[in-house]
Chains A and B, each alone.
Chain A
Amino acid sequence: MTDSRVNLRQPWLAALLAFLLPGLGHWYQGRRFKAAVFSAGILILFGWGQVLGEGQATYSRLVLRTSADSPQFSAQPPVSKTSYGFWAQVLVGLPAFPALLQEARFNAIDKSVGFLDSEIRSDFVGALIETTRQGDLRTPVTGTLQLSPTRPEGSRTVQGELKAGTVDGGTVSYRLGGEIQLGRAVFGSPRRSIECRLVDEAGNFLSARIEGTISRGFFNWYMAPLDSMELDRLHGSLSRQYDVAAVLTWIAGLLNLMAIWDAAQGPAYGYGDEDRGEGEGSGSGGGGSGGGDGDADAASVKA
């Protein structure tokens, strides 16, 4: 409802600003108390959800993984569906916009799949797979990986080594070479898939390879589209904390929808002193008879 004491200035501009950043529209209108309440309340809720969800509670698209092949190894944009929760999250405005930017980056053809453009040094978590007559023998391996392309401008073939820890506390080195399988640069997981073969000192291929993950840069995974396997991993490691995180970000967005409405239309029930004003006989722009708090006030003011 519109109260003459509330200066909405340009309501459409205030609504736009309120959408871009919670509280900004009210600040523009000079409603500083409400600006503080909206910005603090909504941004705390959204940030709280992001922290609980380890930065992965907000994403605009979900890749439905239907086979064992990792969508990280697909240069073409994997088939994905909209995350319905994002429709609520995006109402928070700028804090959720990185998800849209990441979606655009995600939907581009990724030339970095299976291509190493510069040297990488990262921690590695995965397995050493030795091919034997009885089949593949998998041994869990963690360590430090160093790989560089065979050509300075970048290439699909690499050389490097994996220094892995052993059970007795020692370190063992594996020489790596040949073509690399490297996951997409932009993907909603802090871990980037990698596969590489083992070679001997002369550069001959051994019947073994490593499969695992290395670190992915923050700006390449934060709010980026993720796949159902990553979602399963999050639910597995965070349990219901991840669900709480998602709900908090949804609530933050939906609360900002009410704040946007307030910036455009003014407070829904009135200025707030209608019952006092009637008692004192002083009129107010949004006047009306008031009852008690809350909904009772609303009903009477609207009447």
Chain B
Amino acid sequence: MDLSLITQALPLTAIVCLVYCATRFEMPEKILRSALVMFGKTILFLGCAWLLLLWVSG
């Protein structure tokens, strides 16, 4: 696995989720909770897409 997937994709996704959710809500708890959910969903989606591409190209 390419190391940049972890060193770049994860922090980038975390920051995008946090900033995006901060523009949606005002309460810090709500922002953090929704950012965490969005981060999980995004990583799950990216992981599935990565596995699919790995399977297709294998």
Residues of chain A having any CB pair with chain B under 8 Å: 3, 5-6, 31, 33-34, 37-38, 41-42, 44-45, 48, 244, 248, 251, 255, 258-259, 261-262, 266-273, 293-294, 297-298
Contacts and interface: CB of A to CB of B under 8 A. Distances in A.
B33 A293 contact: yes
Interface of B: 4, 8, 11-12, 15-16, 18-20, 22-31, 33-34, 37-38
Given A259-B22, A270-B25, A293-B38, 4 more contacts: A267-B26, A270-B26, A272-B31, A298-B24
B39 to A, nearest CB: 11
B31 A37 contact: yes
Contact of A268 (B11, B24, B28): B24
A269 B24 contact: yes
Contacts of A33: 28, 31
DSSP majority for the A interface?
helix
Given A248-B12, A294-B37, A269 B25 contact: yes
A44 B34 contact: no
Contacts of B28: 33
Contacts of B19: 37-38, 41-42, 255, 258-259
A48 B18 CA distance: 17
28 contacts: A33-B28, A34-B22, A34-B26, A37-B19, A41-B18, A41-B19, A42-B19, A44-B15, A48-B11, A244-B4, A244-B8, A248-B12, A258-B19, A258-B20, A258-B23, A259-B19, A259-B22, A262-B22, A262-B23, A267-B26, A271-B27, A271-B30, A272-B26, A273-B27, A293-B34, A294-B24, A294-B37, A298-B24
Contact of B22 (A38, A44, A273, A293): A38
